Structure 1
Amino acid sequence: MNSRKTRFVIAIAIACALLGYRALKPKDETSTGKADAASAPVAPLKPVMLGKIPFTPCNLSSTMSRDTLEAQCATFEVPEDRANPAGRKIALNIAWLEPTGSGEKMPDPLFLLAGGPGQAAVETFPAMNPILKEVRKLRSVILIDQRGTGKSNLLSCDAVDGEDDGDSSPEAMQAAAGKCVETLSKKADLRHYTTTDAVADLEAVRKAIGAAQVNLMGVSYGTRVAQQYAMRHPDVTRSIVLDSPVPNTQGLGNIFARNLDDALALQFALCTRTATCKDKLGNPRAELDALLAKLRAAPVTVSYHDASTGEQRQDVLRAETVAGLVRMYAYMPAAGALLPKLIHEANAGRYENLMALSQMMHGEMKDAMAMGMQLSVICSEDADSMVAREEDKDTVLGNLMPEGMAAMCKAWPKGNAPADFHKALATKVPALVLAGEFDPVTPPRYGEEIVKTLPNGRLFVLRGQGHSVLGAGCMPKLFAQFVEKADAKALDGKCLDKLAYTPPFTSFNGWEP
């Protein structure tokens, strides 16, 4: 891996702000494949009106799911800058999934708010459709690609443009972000792609479809959008579901290093508390620290089989590569159960599996986020919290993310956030709050903070789960019950007691019987 790729690894760690990552190179939406996969009209049929918006039939598909769903799709124009309504417009990409059941249809739809910042709701929905099976029987689901994502004027860019100058410093990242600004500014005023702008878009769509009230379901960054909407429009918000939430009060600048280390301590303890795992693999955290120190001192050239092509390849394994892989696997404890074995093998000089999995993860995740939109959000809303801390210096991630984000935000145009933007949400709107016990980015204490000011809110912490937990165990059933009755405190959550921990792998064949 050359120094140009090293800079890309750093950009990946930064772009992993909440759910995943995407690279920094401006792209034409018509050539990415994403636009074609997200929503393609099947025939020029007569539009179906939902309120004032005409919809036509389309199919929804996603790289994250094999399912293809029939839906109705539309675009809805909104001003890019609401202070200048005669200026440039954004055509929001919208999908409407009609109720599937034969019973009386409910008038209040469910709005799904994607994570990131930078994910597109339309593209990500097919993977979530099975979770919403019961909810969809009586309610419509509305998907809106947030401005700057998907087909709503996508802001996509690549942090490693230009010559391989060997420089992966904050100054180089600032310069790369500046190049992205220069290109994207030809089609967007980057100051107007914030959460506050997105909330105004949601309200405009609600009015246009004629819904008196809506239910909001947000995942990760989507929980910030949900909280901001409920704060600004409580009377039209029937209920909110916050899956893996970040509180309004929390800046995103330097939360990642400590939260990851805390989650790894919990996940790795499953090995150190198991005699067989500890005997075979040692202390996973001590082994990880040793591996990172070794690679920082001397990166290793590794020959491995490419998982997608089967070809033999050679690349350089660096500490940043390992840190990124560990972080992404920690999001999913079922996958993270493999980490102690991978780390132990690498410390013994067997790097092939770690290298192959890292490259596979990079290939699968590189198109998950719209990095330009993400920077518009975090640079406008979280810049004050991008501060390196001494106590984070010796963590797995160190101060890589706040330093890198701060550097890029120096070049990025910033929008305005309301004075009360970081005020805790305090509302009587019914709220279901979900957190994973092992979440490496939005830990359960965030959910605990949120429900303190929600008198009709309730928190469920799901045993052994990571980030994004709505599909775990019986949670889809509880979710459907909540949306039906809008009463979180009436839910019987005993079925969640059946959730079990995933034992750590002691070999590549699995865990001990």
Structure 2
Amino acid sequence: MTHFFTRLIGFTALGVAIAMARPAIATPPTSPAWESTDCSTFGLNALQSAMSDCGYVTVPERHSQPDGPTIQVAVVRTRSIGNNPAPDPLFIENGGPGSTTIKTFAVDILPNLPVLPALLQARDLVFVDQRGTGHSRPFFNCPEKTEHNIAVARDEIAPTDTQWMVACRDRSLAAGINPNAFNTIENAADIYAVAEALGYDQFNYYGVSYGTLLGQYVLEQAEEHTAQLRSAILDGVVTTNIDFNLAATYTLSGALRNLFAACAADAQCNQTYPNLETVFLSLLDRLEQTPVPLTLKIPDTEETLETTLDRDEFLMFFEPYIANSGNASALPKNIYQAAEGDFSWAVSELSKALRDDDSGTGMYHTVLCSRVDSIAVDPSTVFPAPYEQLIAIGENESASYQHFCDLLQVEREPVFAYDNTEIPVLVLNGGYDPVTPQRYGEAVARNFQNAHVYTFPGVGHGSMFAPGGTPAATCVEAIALDFLADPNQPSNHRCIDEVKPIFKYE
């Protein structure tokens, strides 16, 4: 599972917020585990740098071996712009596994989307590049996968070719990377280590996508550390016991059904794009029989590349496309365009798959491989039957990561068990989420004594980051602010009733 946030541009929400409030001046961290660095090295602009502490926290490679080898996780602490901020910060963690938190949230989203400046009014925000990702050291990536993707697009090798996995494993081991150190147990312990290095007695946690699975481990470890976890927000929730790759067949089918039903229930959408489900499934059948020729551009070289797009490749692209809430309003229009042979709307996104891999692909695989003993539920027992045309995507994705597991042979974590279930949890779901559907969020919420659950129609993967200015964005911001102000008090907001799917016609 990859977390799907595109770079945001437009108005500078942080600049507007700062114009109305002065950031607090705080003492930089003094912990011996902390190593400061210039915030510009992480890509922060001058305004953000002036109100942030940036650096590395040194943590044990294995927390059970505190005197053993160490690694470093990259951290940005942005100080609250409020006059009387709460003492407990909000840690914000991205998904993937393997996606960078600092680049996505501190660099791209904080200056441009109103929700994070709104949260910054009340408390500090802390962004941690999880071990193996982003600016953290070591960076456990697999650049070999980019070469693989380009070769596949050129029809030079099969998508199932595993040479890149072998090359990544061998190079990483030769570089001294210990795959056994990159799992969710260690990752969760890092969060507490960072909180303690920054001098916080208590903190709140927000995670999206894999960040929600990490959040469940952070909750599970709450009694094992000095810093105390006050509350957790889980947005686009991963369950602990289902292979989300295998389940993609079912979860994408569910998101599509929600989209088709929403369009059919909207008079203008139904009139403009009738029989959307039939049109989409017919498109898949045609792509299976006759792949479409496309010209893509390799982002890092600007070289053009002639390729073809078949059914399964289209679905692998369309899953992250529907996950991005910024695309939600255009989905019926896009489907109709594709049915008419126009894939121009998809070319840019398909080309991005050929750029240099900036995610921790090695970390992605070790995280999944270490958790295999917790995967005990077959998705077919949880979900309605999927669309037949989608069956291959889940099977292929699951088989791919399992093959890398066979190559890595990492240590397995104990089976996950819920603990500290009294800590308040806010669960956010998106109706169009093709990876972490409402069923996952509701299932996880049932494990906690004090869980508040909200589902946002017409929103994809990551409800907190619905497009700015929409009812969904306004509502989720209000709910999150209320929850963080008093996690034990259920929100009385009925704004969720005003959230409806939005459709674009021009």
Q: TM-score range by the shorter chain?
A: 0.7 to 0.9
Secondary structure (helix, strand or coil) at the match of 1:470 reads: helix
Shift of 1:367: 4.3
Gaps of 5+ in 1: 1-16, 23-45
Q: 2:334, 2:345 within 8 Å by CA — same for their partners in 1? A: yes
Supply the AA of the counterpart residue of 1:271: C
- Hey, what's the Cα distance between the residues in 2 that align with 1:49 and 1:426? 29
Pick one of 414, 417, 430 that aligns with 2:413.
417
- Describe the shift of the 1:445–1:81 C-alpha distance in structure 2 as closer, same or farther (beyond 3 A): same
1:73 is aligned to 2:74: no
- Hey, what's the Cα distance between the residues in 2 that align with 1:244 and 1:484? 22
Supply the AA of the counterpart residue of 1:501: P
- Describe the shift of the 1:269–1:148 C-alpha distance in structure 2 as closer, same or farther (beyond 3 A): same
Alignment match, 1:148:
132
Supply the AA of the counterpart residue of 1:111: F
Pick one of 36, 55, 58 that aligns with 2:39.
58
- Hey, what's the Cα distance between the residues in 2 that align with 1:145 and 1:90? 12
Q: 2:134, 2:358 within 8 Å by CA — same for their partners in 1? A: no
Supply the AA of the counterpart residue of 1:218: G
Matches within 5 A, 1:329-340: 329-340=321-332
Instruction: Give the CA RMSD over aligned residues.
Output: 3.5
Matches within 5 A, 1:164-183: 166-168=156-158, 170=160, 172-173=161-162, 175-183=163-171
1:463 is aligned to 2:444: no
Shift of 1:167: 4.0
Pick one of 93, 97, 113 that aligns with 1:113.
93
- Describe the shift of the 1:460–1:271 C-alpha distance in structure 2 as closer, same or farther (beyond 3 A): closer
- Describe the shift of the 1:412–1:311 C-alpha distance in structure 2 as closer, same or farther (beyond 3 A): closer
Secondary structure (helix, strand or coil) at the match of 1:159 reads: helix
Secondary structure (helix, strand or coil) at the match of 2:353 reads: helix
Secondary structure (helix, strand or coil) at the match of 1:147 reads: coil
Q: 2:429, 2:454 within 8 Å by CA — same for their partners in 1? A: yes
Shift of 1:268: 1.9
- Describe the shift of the 1:477–1:203 C-alpha distance in structure 2 as closer, same or farther (beyond 3 A): same
Shift of 1:389: 7.5
Supply the AA of the counterpart residue of 1:270: A
Alignment match, 1:6:
none
- The number of residues matched between the two structures is 458
Q: 1:444, 1:461 within 8 Å by CA — same for their partners in 2? A: yes
Alignment match, 1:192:
181
- Describe the shift of the 1:61–1:338 C-alpha distance in structure 2 as closer, same or farther (beyond 3 A): farther
Shift of 1:275: 5.9
Supply the AA of the counterpart residue of 1:356: V
- Describe the shift of the 1:308–1:234 C-alpha distance in structure 2 as closer, same or farther (beyond 3 A): same
Supply the AA of the counterpart residue of 1:369: S
- Hey, what's the Cα distance between the residues in 1 that align with 2:481 and 2:269? 39
Alignment match, 1:284:
276
Residues 302-329 of structure 1: per-residue CA shift (max 9 Å, x gap): 3589999999874322223321232122
- Describe the shift of the 1:86–1:232 C-alpha distance in structure 2 as closer, same or farther (beyond 3 A): closer
Alignment match, 1:450:
444
Residues 386-443 of structure 1: per-residue CA shift (max 9 Å, x gap): 9897966824335221122222222123233133x1x345511111111112211111
Shift of 1:215: 0.8
Aligned residues: percent identity?
A: 24
Alignment match, 1:224:
213
Pick one of 236, 239, 248 that aligns with 1:244.
236
Matches within 5 A, 1:80-479: 80-103=61-84, 105-126=85-106, 127-129=108-110, 130-152=114-136, 153-157=138-142, 158-159=144-145, 161=147, 166-168=156-158, 170=160, 172-173=161-162, 175-185=163-173, 186-234=175-223, 236-274=228-266, 277-278=269-270, 281-302=273-294, 314-348=306-340, 350-362=341-353, 367=357, 369-382=359-372, 394-396=388-390, 397-419=393-415, 421=416, 423-424=417-418, 427-471=421-465, 472-479=473-480
- Describe the shift of the 1:150–1:334 C-alpha distance in structure 2 as closer, same or farther (beyond 3 A): closer
Gaps of 5+ in 2: 7-25, 466-472
- Hey, what's the Cα distance between the residues in 1 that align with 2:278 and 2:88? 52
- Describe the shift of the 1:334–1:73 C-alpha distance in structure 2 as closer, same or farther (beyond 3 A): closer
Supply the AA of the counterpart residue of 1:329: Y
Secondary structure (helix, strand or coil) at the match of 1:244 reads: strand
Supply the AA of the counterpart residue of 1:112: I
Shift of 1:193: 0.5
Q: 1:234, 1:429 within 8 Å by CA — same for their partners in 2? A: no
- Hey, what's the Cα distance between the residues in 2 that align with 1:226 and 1:438? 22
Q: 2:2, 2:99 within 8 Å by CA — same for their partners in 1? A: no
